[in-house]
Amino acid sequence: MVTVRRARSDAHERSRLAEICLLTGAAGGDATDLLSDPTLLTDAYLTPYLEREPDLCLVLADEADVPVGYAIGTADTAAFEQWCTAQWWPSVRARSTGRTSPPRSDLERHLVDRLADRVPKDPQLLERFPAHLHIDLLPVAQGGGNGRRLITALLDALRAAGAHGVHLGVDPANERALGFYRHLGFEVVPEAKGLVLGLALR
């Protein structure tokens, strides 16, 4: 029996969500061995959402109320990116102790680029699909409709927040997630940079 609820802001819950982020961060699989610094991953794909979009951070919790997955996003990607550039990345860089080792993987190289705010933006995409999201379930929670349950709740919340479309980026190696999104009605946005799927929210 699982439930969907808002993420809490306490340190215990954050560390559990960070664990889920790491265990699903490599095209849906465990990213532990690909990163010398796991906070690079959470600083890019988890914590800024918890900080800026607490109403749009949902967790799937087990019988003991422990998170086994999360879905997080923003209804306004342009505003979110502006906030990241103005506040989030500078604060992350200020507390970073500086890297001493070269990136361990392409994933870590990409995350270092994000930390430096060097990842190109795609304003045209945002006209049709202003919202974006991430969803990650631990292997124990995957299947049986849990992903659908969680993403449906987040899509409802994004709709309620005024978004008329949502997009997400997927690693082409993540065939399971691609199949899941397409089954739910997401379609590839051919003009986007990288593999991006979009869905109109009506």
Residues that bind ligand ACO (CB under 6 A): 24, 28, 134-137, 142-148, 168-170, 174, 176-177, 179-180, 183
The nearer residue to ligand ACO, 104 or 183, going by C-beta atoms, is: 183
The nearer residue to ligand ACO, 91 or 105, going by C-beta atoms, is: 105
d(CA 1, CA 64): 10
Of all residues in the shown chain, the one whose CB is closest to ligand ACO is: 147
In terms of DSSP H, where are the helices of 24-130? Answer: 39-45, 47-52, 77-83, 89-95, 106-115, 123-128
Contact 119, 161 (CB under 8 A): no
The nearer residue to ligand ACO, 91 or 192, going by C-beta atoms, is: 192
> How many of the other CB atoms lie within 10 Å of CB of 148?
12
Mark residue 126 as left, alpha or beta (left: phi above 0; alpha: psi -120 to 50; beta: remaining).
alpha
In whole angstroms, the minimum distance from the beta carbon of 20 to ligand ACO comes to 9
The nearer residue to ligand ACO, 115 or 138, going by C-beta atoms, is: 138
